[in-house]
C-alpha cells in the first residue's frame, strides 16, 4: 500500500519553550535555552551549563497520584503527546485501536537508575524503591503513553541514540503507509542526568559556555533535555476530519557507518542523505532547507558540511542549513524529533530558524547556516539530518502538503 502520511499534531517540551507556540516563537527569535544546571551539583565538573528544562509542571499533564510512578523522560513524553493530540483535534476514542506509539531515546529514564545506585550503594538493597526498578527500563517510555492514553496498536521504544527520533518517525511512517496503523504517536524523549553529563564531559565533547555550530572557534556541544512528539496520520483520515496539516512525510533514509563508536564518517552521511532523497522520490533541486545535525563539535560540523556539499554540489549555495542545537543544546534521543517539528513549522510558516552564536566563518563549513537571525523563505521541502553514536544515521524528508 502507498498511503500518504501527514503530520497533524506537534508537542514539544524544551529549554526554550513548552508547547509548539512558545517553542517556535523563541526559536525564530534566536533565544538560547542554555543556563546553569540546577538538577544536580556540577561543582566537580569543568562544565556547568546545559539546556535544562526549568519550568516544567508535570501536574498539568499527569494526575498527582501517578506522577511518582513515572520518571522524568516519560513525563516529558506524556506531556508532549497530550499537547500534540489537543492541537490535532483528534478524538481519542475513535482511533485508539488503530494508533501506535514509537518513542526514540538515548538514555531512557536514566535518573531512575541513578536513584537505584544512590540508595543501594549508600545504604543497602532494602533501601531501593521497587518503583524505580519499574521506571528505568527503556520500554517504559512507550509503555507509559500506551497505558496512559489507551493506545492498543504497535508499541516500541527505539534506542538508536541521537538519531532515534528520526528512526521513530520513519518506522511510524512505514506502518501507516503499509496500512498497519491509521495514526502513530512518534518522536523522542531524553532527560538531563548526572550519568550523561559525566559521560560527555569525559569524552571532552562539551563546550563550557555556548554551542557554536559551524563557527571557526566552536568548542563542542551543550547537553540538553526534552521531548518532541508528532502525530502522524493517514491523509484521507486527516482530510475527513478537517485536521490541521503541518507537512507531509515523503520518506527517509538510514545508514550505518560501521566504523567508529563516536566519530562520524563522511561516507555514511552522504549515503543517508542520498537514500532519503531517492526513497522520497524527489529531486535534489527541490530541497530548500536542511535541519543539520550540527552539534558544534569540530569534527561533526566539518564532516556534515563536506557531505552536504558532496551530495548537493552547486545546489548547496541555495540551501538554508541551520542547527537549532545552538539554542536547545543536544537533546539526544529527542533531538531529531524536535528538529522535525522545527521543519514542520518552517514549512508551515515560511521562516527558517537561525544558528545562533555564530561569530567567525569557517572555510571548512562553507554553507549558509542562517547566522544569528531567522530568515523568511518559502520552504517546500526540508531534510532533517541526524547522526548517532555507533554510526546510526537517519535523514527524514518533509514537504509542504499539496
Specify the pTM. Answer: 0.95
Instruction: Indicate whether 246 belongs to any domain.
Output: no
Active site residues: 162, 293, 330
Whole-number Å distance between alpha carbons of 8 and 85:
9
Domain that holds residue 186: 5-240
The stretch 113-130 carries a mean pLDDT of 58
The pLDDT of residue 68 is 81
**Of the candidates 240, 259, 276, which is a domain's last residue?**
240
Instruction: Indicate whether 76 belongs to any domain.
Output: yes
Residue range 207-229, pLDDT digits in tens: 999 999 999 999 999 999 999 99
Do 134 and 82 belong to one domain?
yes
Do 160 and 180 belong to one domain?
yes
Do 228 and 119 belong to one domain?
yes
Do 232 and 261 belong to one domain?
no
Do 97 and 193 belong to one domain?
yes
As for how many domains the chain has, the answer is: 2
**Of the candidates 240, 274, 301, which is a domain's last residue?**
240
The pLDDT of residue 116 is 55
CATH number of the domain residue 235 falls in: 3.40.47.10
**Of the candidates 240, 259, 274, which is a domain's last residue?**
240
Do 236 and 262 belong to one domain?
no
Do 320 and 270 belong to one domain?
yes
Residue 235's pLDDT band, with cuts at 50, 70 and 90, is very high
Residue range 365-381, pLDDT digits in tens: 999 999 999 999 999 99
Do 259 and 393 belong to one domain?
yes
Amino acid at each position: 500500500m502507498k498511503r500518504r502520511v501527514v503530520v497533524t499534531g506537534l508537542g514539544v517540551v524544551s529549554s526554550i519553550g513548552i508547547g509548539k507556540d512558545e517553542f517556535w516563537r523563541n526559536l525564530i527569535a534566536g533565544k538560547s535555552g542554555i543556563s546553569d544546571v540546577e538538577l544536580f551539583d556540577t561543582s566537580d565538573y569543568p562544565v556547568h551549563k546545559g539546556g535544562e528544562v526549568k519550568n516544567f509542571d508535570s501536574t498539568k499533564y499527569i494526575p498527582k497520584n501517578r506522577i511518582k510512578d513515572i520518571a522524568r523522560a516519560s513525563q516529558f513524553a506524556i506531556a508532549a503527546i497530550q499537547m500534540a493530540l489537543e492541537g490535532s483535534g483528534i478524538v481519542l476514542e475513535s482511533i485508539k485501536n488503530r494508533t501506535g506509539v514509537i518513542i526514540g531515546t538515548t538514555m531512557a529514564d536514566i535518573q531512575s537508575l541513578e536513584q537505584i545506585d544512590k540508595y543501594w550503594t549508600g545504604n543497602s538493597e532494602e533501601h531501593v524503591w521497587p518503583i524505580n526498578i519499574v521506571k528505568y527500563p527503556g520500554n517504559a517510555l512507550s509503555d507509559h503513553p500506551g497505558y496512559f492514553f489507551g493506545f492498543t496498536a504497535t508499541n516500541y521504544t527505539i534506542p538508536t541514540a541521537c538519531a532515534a527520533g528520526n528512526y521513530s518517525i520513519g518506522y511510524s511512517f512505514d506502518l501507516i503507509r503499509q496500512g498497519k496503523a491509521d495514526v502513530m504517536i512518534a518522536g523522542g524523549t531524553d532527560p538531563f542526568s548526572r550519568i550523561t553529563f559525566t559521560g560527555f564531559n569525559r569524552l571532552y565533547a562539551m563546550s563550557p559556555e555556548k554551542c557554536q555550530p559551524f563557527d571557526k572557534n566552536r568548542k563542542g556541544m551543550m547537553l540538553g533535555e526534552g521531548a518532541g512528539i508528532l502525530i502522524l496520520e493517514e491523509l484521507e483520515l486527516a482530510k475527513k476530519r478537517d485536521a490541521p496539516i503541518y507537512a507531509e512525510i515523503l520518506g527517509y533514509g538510514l545508514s550505518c557507518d560501521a566504523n567508529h563508536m563516536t566519530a562520524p564518517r563522511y561516507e555514511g552521511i552522504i549515503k543517508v542523505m542520498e537514500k532519503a532523497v531517492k526513497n522520497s522520490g524527489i529531486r535534489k533541486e527541490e530541497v530548500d532547507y536542511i535541519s543539520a545535525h550540527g552539534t558544534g563539535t569540530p569534527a561533526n560540523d566539518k564532516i556534515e558540511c563536506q557531505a552536504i556539499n558532496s551530495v548537493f554540489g552547486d545546489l548547496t549555495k541555495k540551501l538554508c542549513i541551520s542547527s537549532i542545537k545552538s539554542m536547545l543544546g543536544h537533546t539526544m534521543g529527542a533531538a531529531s524529533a524536535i528538529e522535525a517539528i522545527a521543519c514542520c513549522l518552517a514549512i508551515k510558516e515560511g521562516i527558517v530558524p537561525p544558528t545562533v552564536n555564530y561569530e567567525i566563518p569557517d572555510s571548512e563549513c562553507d554553507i549558509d547556516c542562517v547566522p544569528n537571525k531567522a530568515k523568511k523563505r518559502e520552504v517546500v521541502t526540508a531534510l532533517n539530518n541526524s547522526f548517532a553514536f555507533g554510526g546510526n544515521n537517519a535523514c527524514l524528508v518533509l514537504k509542504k502538503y499539496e
